[in-house]
Amino acid sequence: MKRDVTEAAENAIIKSELVKKISAPVDSILNRSFQTTPLRPIKLLLNGSWLGHPLHPLLTDIPVGAWTLAILMDIVGLMFHLPQLGIASSIAVALGIAGALAAAAAGLMDWMDIDPAEKSVGAVHGIINTAATLFFVGSLLMRWRDGWSLNWASFAIALVGYLLVSVGAYLGGGMVFHLGVMINRNAYRNGPSDFKSVIAENELVEGQPRRVEVDGQPILLLRSKSAIYAVGAVCSHYGAPLEEGKLMDETIQCPWHLSRFSLLDGSVKEGPACAAVPCYDVQTVNGQVQVKMRV
């Protein structure tokens, strides 16, 4: 039943023309500003490639945790007449606002790269969380006006913000666990555990990526400077076919979002991808290229 409700909500958002009209201009501005411009390093920093994990979900814990603490301190302070909790609660609200702004910046950099259906859900997720943040800003201003004292009015505004951010978090969770946004596309790749022949060596053209499959695993082969490299053929970021990518030194560049992966070990050399692609050991036997997964 819960899944039906989630799917119904997501489908309604995906089909909404209003959401598309609202999000399209923002998407266009972000892509023109950050995708292939001098500002791209900012995007990559906020994507979290350097962390080995998307940065956005880490940052979202700050506002959720801070605002949860603020709500609890408000309740305790108001019910048990503890005015000394007013300043502490206000600090928690302010910390949550700062964390929400950072999370929004990272979220926008991730949002640029996702497909239209998920992008619509992400837009509503962002709009709801923005509204929640504005409620907390309003609550903080009331606390400041009242000398950081506790009162039911500022608590009520904060509570509305907290309910909104909970809805936003629910949609965010659905994007990851239901729609598969920002997951590692190679999380369950395995094998072959022993060398297996995949192609004749003379079929590989110097500098031209070639996709093969062995035991159901898509593998990219590349001959470069007398060496043969083998890595996963699926970009870990969003599933792009890496055989359609561009060879850059000893890396392969994703054709969709320009992530670069090392041909030597599959590691991420440039984001927005955060997870490495599988890497394979290669040998040539009787004119046949053989590969096995590196462990």
Q: What is the pLDDT of residue 225?
A: 83
pTM of the model: 0.90
Contact status, residue 154 vs residue 142, Cβ threshold 8 Å: yes
pLDDT digits (tens, 9 = 90+) for 229-288: 999 999 999 999 999 999 998 999 999 999 999 999 999 999 999 999 999 999 999 999
Q: Specify the CATH number for 196-293; select among 3.40.50.1000, 3.30.420.40, 2.102.10.10, 2.40.50.140.
A: 2.102.10.10
pLDDT digits (tens, 9 = 90+) for 4-22: 778 888 999 999 999 999 9
Candidates 217, 236, 212; CA nearest to 288 is 212
pLDDT at 183 over 70: yes
Q: Where are the domains of the chain?
A: 2-177, 196-293
Q: What is the pLDDT of residue 110?
A: 97
Q: How far is CA 39 from CA 32, 73, 255, 270, in A?
A: 10, 41, 20, 14
Contact status, residue 189 vs residue 233, Cβ threshold 8 Å: no
pLDDT-based confidence at 3, cuts 50/70/90? low
Q: What is the largest CA-CA distance in the chain?
A: 84
Residue 20 has which token pair? 């598309």
pLDDT at 175 over 90: yes
Cis amide linkage into residue 272, ω under 30° from 0: yes
- Mean pLDDT, rounded, for 65-87: 96
pLDDT at 294 over 70: yes
Cis amide linkage into residue 255, ω under 30° from 0: no
Provide the H-helix boundaries in the chain: 2-15, 17-34, 40-47, 55-79, 85-111, 116-145, 152-177
pLDDT at 64 over 90: yes
